[in-house]
Amino acid sequence: MKILAEQKISEDSQADLARFAKALSHPTRLEILRLLSTQSCCFTGDLVEILPIAQSTVSQHLKELKIAGLIQGEIDPPKTKYCINQQNWQKAKLLFASFFE
Amino acid sequence: MKILAEQKISEDSQADLARFAKALSHPTRLEILRLLSTQSCCFTGDLVEILPIAQSTVSQHLKELKIAGLIQGEIDPPKTKYCINQQNWQKAKLLFASFFE
DNA sequence: AAAACAAATCGTACATTGGCGATGAACGAT
DNA sequence: ATCGTTCATCGCCAATGTACGATTTGTTTT
């Protein structure tokens, strides 16, 4: 029972790790995360200015990062402010670290 | 000059990180890497037996992992033996660790 | 109510991925 | 030389990802 439960957890962790890795697998998303983790937060508009891609594309990458759980956005009308989701950021950090031993 | 060089290195590292993350973004590839890192090596056939997917698909994932530099294969006719590429494995480990601070 | 702004979403185009079966290539054994 | 084994590659397809411009949504200001 215990062993089965642990296997289940391990499988889930592997799926989680795959999802996090997928979120990190695009240079633009890495750049967004790097910007958000150095500055504590960013408005979408700031990112659009910095990144050499269209506003709609930035918005889409932000959406993916949000779905992956790595960032969170709060509306501060008329702007939206994004920051790292610290809880999942730590979780991802741990998952990667333990994957590499 | 030094600063520019460091920025270049940093950009390259980000691209490297994205490529590593992409290689890790599929559960099957994570499983392959996990198997290879616990046992020191594996024949393709062993992986095909363990994994619930077709031989050709396993072979394709192995190819991707090889291109990403995370594994290396040596032919031991008629079999092929795969193992972790330790150098790039360490590189990936460091890149992920420093990305998460 | 209208205009202005920020950001999300929609619709479209194209490239890439992930899966499979079938075929090909390399090699050892018969 | 043929056969069997092992693995890589090919061709195909559906599904997903990436990018864009255009439009919509939501809010503030005029």
Q: Which of A14, A24, A97 sits opposite B30 (nearest CB)?
A: A14
Cβ atoms of A84 and A36 closer than 8 Å: yes
Mean pLDDT of all residues in B43-63: 96
Q: Is the pLDDT of residue B9 over 70?
A: no
Residue B17 has pLDDT above 90, yes or no: yes
Cβ of residue A18 closer than 8 Å to a chain B Cβ: yes
CA pair distance A74, A66, nearest whole angstrom: 11
Q: What's the total number of domains in chain B?
A: 1
Alpha helices (H) along chain A: 2-23, 27-38, 44-50, 55-68, 86-99
Look at residue A28 and tell me whether its pLDDT is greater than 70.
yes
- Band (pLDDT 50/70/90 cuts) for residue A36 is very high
The mean pLDDT of A3-23, rounded to a whole number, is 82
Contact between residue B60 and residue B95 where contact means Cβ atoms under 8 Å apart: no
Closest CA to A31 of A18, A16, A47: A47
Q: What is the CATH classification number for the domain harbouring B85?
A: 1.10.10.10
pLDDT at A75: 84
Do B101 and A37 contact (CB within 8 A), yes or no?
yes
What pLDDT is attached to residue A98?
A: 95
Chain A, window 43-72: residues with a beta carbon less than 8 angstroms from a chain B beta carbon: none
Give the structural domain span for B69: 2-99
In the predicted model, is pLDDT for residue B5 greater than 80?
no
Check B15 against A27: CB less than 8 A apart. Answer: yes
Least confident of A14-23, A24-33, B34-43, B60-69: B34-43
Cis peptide before A78 (omega within 30 of 0): yes
In the predicted model, what is the mean pLDDT of chain B?
91
CA atom of A77 to C1′ atom of D26, Å = 9
Of all residues in chain B, the one with the smallest CA distance to A96 is B96
